[in-house]
């Protein structure tokens, strides 16, 4: 982007560079109703004076879109990267909320509750493409003045009134349909205006227009040329690839931000004050910003010791006589910074400040916090609650490789940046100013560091996901992957003038599944797992299909539109193993979007992220992109089969896995035909024993030609250890690295005592180079196991914690009504001792000899331990490896066969 100085920018603004926070927002229009169901920013209002949005704004990033109730219009938040401020632009196109219905206007006219609705505006007739039945239909657009009139309100909104009242006048024989009434207004605004959150816009003479970034446009061209030339993609996907590439190639700004953490006085040391009541004072607040400032705001209180302030380093310490002044200082910061980072700020910090401010007599306009049902947003900035972001399962698993388990500031920080929370010597309300300040500052520091590590990885990831999903940053950071996918698919519907079907329309038109799942209670059959060939196998190539399911969705043209389509002539295009057929006439929207995204990741971003010839900064950006794509693609098949997904289409999900089974089966057969031994496989992978180059080449070529699928050698193991169990193996790489999959010895809940010995075996195995060396290694492994056994048998453990199982409580203890598993028993014992137990807590327990045979580790004594139970556990854990090595646990520990039976 052309670099301009701040001064130049200021001159563009005519009226000078007034700070947004200096403007007093007006009173808001109405309270958020308690019954409000949709968590929505529609309820929250940006109130600002007319001159808030400049007539002209240099290129800025669109970071958020919302609805302003007082103006009854949409607004857009733009982050201007040079002044590093957010500017709010209000819609000037008169765009209004609406829904579609199949009832013609002349009939709707007779529904009094519709036409007399206080927010009713007018009817229009539109033609839309109905993809389920491959036809154009006429629909009535019912336009309203207030989004809540469409949906959202539990009673009296148009979405409900139309189907309720229509039969009263016209009888029951006509099926009344209402479409697109559950889409949040600001999303609707994004779709209709074709806005791209995360991308560059400028304001010229009051108009919001996209900003073309020349350099990035060149990069987009390059991506497309490369991919089309190299791979000769089906040409109908090229426009999609170009669209995605533009979203991904545009630069990301440095995001000026501040992290916030508050501490609250508590009269009861073990209780955190309720933020809804906010009855206690805020005694400390820390602010750590991207411009290197660290501030600690402390409330003066009677009888609190000063403590040693010298340990607070470069932070500025500010004492406040009045809590109101302290809050005002916080609010000034919230108004100043464009991005506010918290850890659990939705539930606690901002929520507390919001209510506390009310209690202290702040007027609504003086408080920059807007409270929704579950989220706290900010009037002039973007609030990112990292707790919500890190809680996202897809982010946890695919972006951060399950490095953290429990989503607490302490655990996430420990896992990702190697920092932890500080311990307090006394309850927060009693410690010295210095200790309180240090503790609070540390939290704000690590909260900030969670957004800055790896060159601002998290902020960049959010930016990329914002672009892909076409959602406001606030939403993308809080919602799950199915919402992201829904959003960009809805966008595409509107772009193509397609009617967005209701979920029941899809089920009605496409029916349900036909195969039987192996697991009870599941809806359809999933993937194939090949029975492993037990033993030690040297020189194993693991081949896999790159993004198998997304590839299937692309190549086989899967989507709600194409699976079991309405055309007679497509019925012969059957999915093997199912009664379903696939459309031969049209490309499904999902197939186009997912397919193009897959090709971009596989063909461009993944290789670029590893390309050593690039600058590390560039490579880093590509790696952010490819991991964001990974998160989306990994979920793209699952959403078809998820009832919560708006385009839920069970036969499409079923077709995907059925084709997957067919592909892997064919590939196994082909491999065997080529004389390769297939020793294991799971879903999209094949373990090939000692294949030669030529065999691999033939197989890859065959897959490409016959299946249209990219098969690649994912990794080569020097050797693998397979037991007879599926999803259980160990592989040693040429460089001695070890992959351990599914083995009990690696599971997180097992006692550290056992884990350590398992690790020792793993380490020993990593040093085995040849089959001959195995014999020596086996002896060592026997020794390791014997030592473990003897230590247990002789009760020689140093710390009882080493013997603790750590199992996560899936729900509150009372909710286990079918059975009482051991960890729940332990949890109940803790609860009886007055210790608070929540769902998601990790329970540490040991096995003991007497009823009830388990005890929370903190209550157990060493002598109670049931050693035989542990030895039994040892046996099953090590058997998973010993099986393959032809060793017997009982022989190793010195039991003869005879003794085993006595």
Partner DNA sequence: GCGGACTGCTTACCT
Partner DNA sequence: ACAGGTAAGCAGTCCGCG
CA angle 704, 710, 711 (to 5 degrees): 95
Task: Output 527 or 895, the one with its CB closest to DNA.
Answer: 527
Q: What's the half-sphere exposure (Cβ side, CA atoms, 13 Å) at 502?
A: 15
Q: How far apart are alpha carbons 655 and 661 in whole angstroms?
A: 10
Strand partners, 713: 543
Task: Output 126 or 849, the one with its CB closest to DNA.
Answer: 849
Q: Are 551 and 710 within 8 A, CB to CB? A: yes
Min separation Cβ 559 and DNA, Å: 16
Question: DSSP secondary-structure letter at 236?
Answer: G
Q: Are 701 and 517 within 8 A, CB to CB? A: no
Task: Output 320 or 560, the one with its CB closest to DNA.
Answer: 560
Q: Are 738 and 746 within 8 A, CB to CB? A: no
Min separation Cβ 238 and DNA, Å: 27
Q: How far apart are alpha carbons 725 and 531 in whole angstroms?
A: 8
Q: Are 369 and 378 within 8 A, CB to CB? A: yes
Min separation Cβ 901 and DNA, Å: 12
Min separation Cβ 844 and DNA, Å: 11
Min separation Cβ 210 and DNA, Å: 30
Min separation Cβ 151 and DNA, Å: 18
Task: Output 334 or 525, the one with its CB closest to DNA.
Answer: 525
Task: Output 40 or 880, the one with its CB closest to DNA.
Answer: 880
Task: Output 165 or 864, the one with its CB closest to DNA.
Answer: 864
Q: Are 712 and 700 within 8 A, CB to CB? A: yes
Strand partners, 298: 284, 319
Tokens of 897: 């066969």
Tokens of 336: 């100043």
Task: Output 560 or 637, the one with its CB closest to DNA.
Answer: 637
Distances (CA, A) of 641 to 133, 396, 560, 635, 657: 21, 21, 11, 10, 10
Min separation Cβ 161 and DNA, Å: 26
Min separation Cβ 519 and DNA, Å: 4
Min separation Cβ 810 and DNA, Å: 3
Min separation Cβ 478 and DNA, Å: 7
Q: How far apart are alpha carbons 207 and 54 in whole angstroms?
A: 10
Strands 339-342 and 382-385: parallel
Task: Output 64 or 657, the one with its CB closest to DNA.
Answer: 657
E strand or H helix that includes residue 135: strand 135-144
Question: DSSP secondary-structure letter at 574?
Answer: B
Q: How far apart are alpha carbons 687 and 86 in whole angstroms?
A: 53
Min separation Cβ 119 and DNA, Å: 29
Min separation Cβ 651 and DNA, Å: 13
> Which string of b and e fits 239-252 if b means at least 16 CB within 10 Å?
ebbbbbbbbbbbeb
Close Cβ partners of 763 (under 8 Å, ≥ 6 residues apart) = none
**Which residue, among 183, 213, 188, 190, has the nearest Cα to 62 in the 3D structure?**
190
DSSP-assigned states of every residue in 391-405: H-HHIIIIISTT---
Task: Output 21 or 744, the one with its CB closest to DNA.
Answer: 744
Min separation Cβ 235 and DNA, Å: 29
Task: Output 653 or 893, the one with its CB closest to DNA.
Answer: 653
Question: Which residue reads 């007739």 in tokens?
Answer: 125
Task: Output 371 or 847, the one with its CB closest to DNA.
Answer: 847
Min separation Cβ 481 and DNA, Å: 5
Q: How far apart are alpha carbons 292 and 295 in whole angstroms?
A: 10
Residue 15: how many other CB atoms lie within 10 Å: 9
SS3 479: coil
Task: Output 286 or 636, the one with its CB closest to DNA.
Answer: 636
Question: What backbone phi and psi angles, to 5 degrees, belong to 711?
Answer: -100, 135
Task: Output 252 or 846, the one with its CB closest to DNA.
Answer: 846
Task: Output 123 or 729, the one with its CB closest to DNA.
Answer: 729
Q: How far apart are alpha carbons 445 and 258 in whole angstroms?
A: 10
Question: Which residue reads 């670099």 in tokens?
Answer: 3
């Amino acid at each position: 982007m052309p670099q301009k100085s701040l001064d130049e920018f200021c001159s563009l603004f005519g009226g000078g560079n007034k700070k947004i926070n200096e403007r007093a927002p007006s009173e808001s229009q109405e309270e958020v109703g308690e019954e409000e169901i949709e968590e929505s920013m529609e309820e929250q209002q940006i109130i600002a004076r007319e001159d808030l949005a400049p007539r002209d704004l240099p290129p800025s990033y669109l970071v958020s879109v919302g609805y302003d109730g007082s103006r009854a219009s949409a607004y857009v938040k733009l982050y201007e990267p040079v002044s590093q401020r957010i500017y709010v632009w209000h819609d000037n196109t008169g765009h209004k909320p609406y829904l579609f219905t199949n009832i013609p206007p002349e009939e709707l006219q007779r529904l009094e509750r519709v036409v007399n609705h206080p927010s009713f505006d007018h009817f229009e007739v539109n033609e839309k493409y109905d993809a389920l039945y491959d036809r154009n239909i006429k629909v009535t657009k019912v336009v309203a003045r207030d989004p809540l009139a469409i949906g959202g309100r539990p009673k009296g909104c148009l979405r409900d009134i139309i189907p309720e009242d229509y039969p009263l006048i016209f009888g029951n024989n006509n099926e009344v349909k209402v479409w697109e009434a559950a889409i949040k207004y600001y999303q609707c605004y994004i779709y209709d205006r074709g806005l791209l959150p995360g991308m560059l816009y400028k304001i010229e003479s009051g108009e919001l227009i996209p900003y073309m970034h020349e350099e990035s446009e060149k990069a987009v061209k390059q991506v497309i040329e490369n991919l089309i030339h190299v791979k000769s993609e089906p040409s109908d996907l090229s426009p999609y690839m170009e669209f995605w590439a533009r979203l991904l190639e545009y630069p990301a700004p440095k995001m000026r931000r501040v992290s916030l953490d508050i501490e609250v006085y508590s009269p009861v040391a073990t209780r955190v004050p309720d933020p809804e009541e906010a009855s206690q004072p805020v005694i400390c607040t820390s602010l750590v910003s991207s411009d290197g400032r660290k501030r600690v705001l402390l409330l003066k209180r009677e009888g609190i010791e000063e403590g040693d302030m010298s340990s607070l380093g470069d932070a500025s310490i500010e004492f406040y006589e009045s809590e109101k002044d302290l809050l005002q200082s916080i609010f000034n910061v919230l108004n100043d910074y464009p991005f506010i980072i918290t850890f659990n700020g939705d539930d606690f910090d901002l929520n507390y400040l919001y209510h506390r401010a009310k209690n202290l007599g702040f007027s609504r306009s003086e408080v920059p916090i807007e409270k929704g049902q579950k989220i706290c947003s900010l009037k002039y900035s973007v609030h990112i609650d990292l707790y919500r972001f890190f809680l996202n399962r897809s982010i946890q698993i695919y972006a951060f490789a399950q490095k953290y388990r429990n989503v607490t500031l302490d655990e996430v920080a420990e896992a990702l940046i190697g920092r932890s929370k500080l311990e307090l010597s006394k309850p927060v309300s009693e410690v010295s100013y210095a200790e309180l300040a240090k503790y609070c500052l540390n939290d704000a520091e690590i909260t900030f560091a969670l957004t800055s590590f790896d060159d601002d990885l998290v902020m960049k990831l959010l930016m990329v996901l914002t672009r892909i999903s076409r959602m406001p940053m606030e939403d993308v950071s809080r919602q799950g992957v199915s919402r992201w996918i829904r959003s960009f698919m809805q966008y595409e519907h509107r772009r193509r003038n397609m009617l967005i079907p209701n979920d029941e329309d899809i089920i009605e038109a496409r029916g349900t599944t036909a195969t039987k799942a192996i697991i009870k209670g599941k809806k359809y059959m999933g993937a194939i797992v090949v029975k492993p060939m037990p033993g030690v196998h040297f020189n194993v190539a693991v081949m896999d299909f790159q993004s198998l399911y997304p590839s299937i969705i692309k190549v086989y043209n899967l989507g709600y539109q194409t699976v079991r389509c309405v055309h007679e002539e497509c019925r012969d295009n059957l999915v093997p193993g199912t009664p379903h057929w696939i459309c031969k006439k049209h490309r499904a929207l999902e197939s186009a979007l997912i397919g193009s995204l897959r090709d971009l990741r596989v063909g461009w971003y993944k290789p670029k992220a590893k390309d050593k010839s690039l600058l590390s900064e560039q490579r880093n950006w590509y790696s952010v992109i490819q991991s964001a794509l990974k998160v989306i693609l990994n979920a793209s098949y699952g959403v078809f089969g998820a009832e919560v997904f708006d385009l839920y289409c069970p036969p499409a999900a079923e077709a995907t896995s059925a084709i997957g089974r067919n592909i892997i089966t064919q590939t196994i057969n082909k491999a065997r035909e080529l004389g390769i031994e297939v020793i294991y496989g799971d879903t999209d992978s094949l373990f090939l024993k000692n294949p030669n180059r030529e065999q691999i080449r033939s197989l890859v070529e065959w897959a490409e030609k016959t299946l249209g699928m990219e098969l690649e050698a994912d990794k080569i193991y020097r050797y693998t250890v397979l037991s007879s169990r599926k999803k259980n193996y160990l592989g040693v790489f040429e460089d001695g690295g070890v992959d351990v999959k599914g083995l009990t010895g690696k599971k997180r809940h097992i006692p550290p005592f056992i884990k350590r010995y398992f690790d020792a075996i793993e380490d020993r195995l990593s040093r085995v180079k040849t089959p001959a060396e195995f014999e020596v290694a086996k002896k060592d492994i026997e020794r390791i196991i014997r030592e473990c056994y003897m230590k247990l048998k002789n009760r020689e453990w140093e710390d009882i914690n080493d013997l603790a199982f750590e199992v996560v409580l899936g729900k509150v203890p009372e909710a286990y009504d079918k059975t009482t598993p051991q960890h729940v028993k332990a949890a109940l014992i803790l609860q009886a001792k007055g210790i608070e137990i929540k769902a998601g807590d990790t329970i540490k327990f040991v096995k003991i000899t007497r009823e009830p045979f388990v005890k929370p580790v903190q209550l157990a004594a060493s002598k109670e331990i049931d050693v035989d139970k542990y030895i039994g556990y040892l046996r099953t854990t090590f058997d998973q490896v010993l099986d393959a090595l032809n060793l017997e646990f009982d022989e190793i520990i010195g039991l003869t066969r005879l003794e085993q039976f006595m």
